[in-house]
Structure 1
């Protein structure tokens, strides 16, 4: 009965996804009429679809959070970031079919890194610092994420500038192997020997007190599985009901990703029609794609900062940046090899300078195990600079 009740309640609980599915079906019948309505109608339709996609993405992120809570960190953060990256990769792949921009992939990855590190981390550290002062976290996580992001972006988005055009496919294949090798080892360490790098023991929480065991930097989530289970809230229903809710969350995530894919296809068509012949910044579509995938992460990170849980913010912002680079690049490079059409992956001089400044500032700010409002403001000003440069077409 519990399982059937959960399934029966889904349409009411998932109003956003139901609305998204209805909009996707409606677009099948009215797409051509809207496109014939002119530029303004196309832009309005694109704006509506972007809003619906963000709502659907929020529900996907919500169920990812449910799964994340059940498994704890670092697995939980991985689920959150991977769900966001999956949405981004799918939207990118769909938009590539209608976009003629050879720099869309590069600009989207660059925008995502700016948005995650300077936007999400900067704003969260700023408002969290204004409310709580210095906010502690495990400094091992910031250092590890930083060096991984620098390595991944250096290999995939800086070095390609020096690769001859007639040898791009060799380096593209190498990049795929390098990214997979880097992430495979990182994943093994993150969930294995170095899992405590990405956790922090908050002394005021009961779970942290219960697990004040082997390492000062190890939280309840990083403790042995028997301790992890005791720190989690006890289920109120039967074990079968809990398993069914997990299955429902997984099903909703998969359904949400499919619906978002359909909406993204229509959104790309409306954006192309609406922006054609305008003076819109060339990277505008890339910023839109990055913003859609990051929207749920922004809300989650801000809530964590206000609750004085900076470790979650670090894991979300830096983990999302790393996942965007190290997972999006091999997928897109594989598409380029398959189609025989390379993407422009080498960043412009302005983009390279912004990334270098961002990672240097992050390395300094994330070196002492505490964030504050000043550090948050430095990143947020860099984010504002990114927005200004984008508006200037740089």
Structure 2
């Protein structure tokens, strides 16, 4: 890469997140005109691309699986902060916001990102290869967390409705943190090799053979990654009133707003996972997808449990029958996908159909 190209790449990846944050500061809490919504949306798209770039720089420095863990946790922490803020300020009308957001994140990651990554990987290499041990353990953790936090509240009897009692919510929070902490320890220390990409000796990827960036460059990218993710989540929140009005004028259910915002917030992980699959790093794609689903539940539920001290309205966590069926089918199909350690276009297509069913039923429940 020439000096001019290097400067141009550095210029936009540093400038765009800062511009996006400025747009966030200027638009926060204001009613935006259509032109302003368009500008904020462009800043949002640029921040997504910048976040993916800086995440890849950090990942190249620290290696896998730490790289995918950094992006998943960073996105989820900021997303959780947004959810808690909205719930504290929104009162009873946001009582189901945590449930809707977490479930949307699980379906987007476990079906949308996984399916799209398998399609991309299998189109290029006919068969997408990954470690069944690592991906299977991740899926089992996601299924357990989702069942404890989103399914059981529908069937408990301590409180009416799909709610946990205070003791039940505390147990779910502690269990979620313990499971997530155990998984991170296994992923990064005990069985790290289960989460490393399965190598192909014939592959000649320029990025794979490039020397890792220096510590100063990696730290700068880490800081800019956080800035970009703050801009992604904040700009998504800034354009949400326009999304809400559009959804209302179209006569669609209010839950569609949460799905759209979740799609916007998860764009960095989606792009990073697809690019990894294109480079024949399917394990990295699965680390991003399943790790994001796990972090979304494992960090959101404890944060909501802590915030419940200040929440005045009910906290609805239990899924309805339709969503429970989709979750169960996702777990079964996901298990059949990851157990062999190899996936083809068929598995990718099945996951994409499940994702399409989730989107369709969100629009037409």
- Structure 1 length-normalised TM: 0.80
**What residue number does 1:20 align with?**
20
2:161 is aligned with 1:170: no
2:47 is aligned with 1:53: no
Cα distance in 1 between the residues matched to 2:331 and 2:216: 42
Over the aligned positions, Cα root-mean-square deviation in angstroms equals 2.9
Cα distance in 2 between the residues matched to 1:295 and 1:247: 23
Residues 68-147 of structure 1 aligned to structure 2 (within 5 Å) = 68-96=59-87, 97-98=89-90, 100-147=93-140
2:221 is aligned with 1:249: yes
SS of 2:266's partner is: helix
SS of 2:94's partner is: coil
Go from structure 1 to structure 2 and tell me whether the alpha carbon gap of 1:324 and 1:51 turns closer, same or farther (over 3 Å shift).
Answer: farther
2:179 is aligned with 1:182: yes
1:204-254 CA distance string (max 9 Å, x none): 1689xxxxxxxxxxxxxxxxxxxxxxx974468xxxxx2321221232133
Residues 350-369 of structure 1 aligned to structure 2 (within 5 Å) = 350-369=322-341
Contact 2:129 2:282 in 1 (8 A): yes
**What residue number does 1:325 align with?**
297
Cα distance in 2 between the residues matched to 1:206 and 1:124: 18
Residues 248-327 of structure 1 aligned to structure 2 (within 5 Å) = 248-260=220-232, 262-272=234-244, 275=247, 279-327=251-299
Post-superposition offset of 1:138: 0.7
2:192 is aligned with 1:195: yes
1:30-75 CA distance string (max 9 Å, x none): x3474xxxxxx4xx75565345334323323322221111111111
Cα distance in 1 between the residues matched to 2:32 and 2:262: 28
SS of 2:95's partner is: coil
Cα distance in 2 between the residues matched to 1:47 and 1:91: 22
Contact 2:130 2:283 in 1 (8 A): yes
Contact 2:21 2:230 in 1 (8 A): no
Cα distance in 1 between the residues matched to 2:120 and 2:212: 34
Post-superposition offset of 1:12: 4.8
Go from structure 1 to structure 2 and tell me whether the alpha carbon gap of 1:334 and 1:58 turns closer, same or farther (over 3 Å shift).
Answer: farther
Tell me how many residue pairs correspond in the alignment. Answer: 351
Post-superposition offset of 1:369: 1.0
Contact 2:198 2:281 in 1 (8 A): no
**What residue number does 2:3 align with?**
none
Residues 151-162 of structure 1 aligned to structure 2 (within 5 Å) = 151-162=144-155
**What residue number does 1:37 align with?**
none
Contact 2:154 2:318 in 1 (8 A): yes
* Higher alpha-carbon Rg: 1
Cα distance in 2 between the residues matched to 1:33 and 1:188: 45
Contact 2:197 2:282 in 1 (8 A): no
Go from structure 1 to structure 2 and tell me whether the alpha carbon gap of 1:263 and 1:201 turns closer, same or farther (over 3 Å shift).
Answer: closer
Please list every run of 5 or more consecutive structure 1 residues that lacks an aligned counterpart in the other structure.
1-5, 35-40, 208-230, 237-241
Contact 2:149 2:317 in 1 (8 A): yes
Contact 2:116 2:352 in 1 (8 A): yes
Cα distance in 2 between the residues matched to 1:307 and 1:118: 20
Contact 1:17 1:59 in 2 (8 A): yes
Go from structure 1 to structure 2 and tell me whether the alpha carbon gap of 1:204 and 1:105 turns closer, same or farther (over 3 Å shift).
Answer: same
Cα distance in 1 between the residues matched to 2:254 and 2:31: 25
SS of 1:338's partner is: coil
Cα distance in 1 between the residues matched to 2:120 and 2:209: 28
Cα distance in 2 between the residues matched to 1:124 and 1:28: 34
Cα distance in 2 between the residues matched to 1:235 and 1:372: 32
Contact 2:109 2:293 in 1 (8 A): yes
Post-superposition offset of 1:383: 0.8
Contact 2:79 2:265 in 1 (8 A): yes
Post-superposition offset of 1:120: 1.1
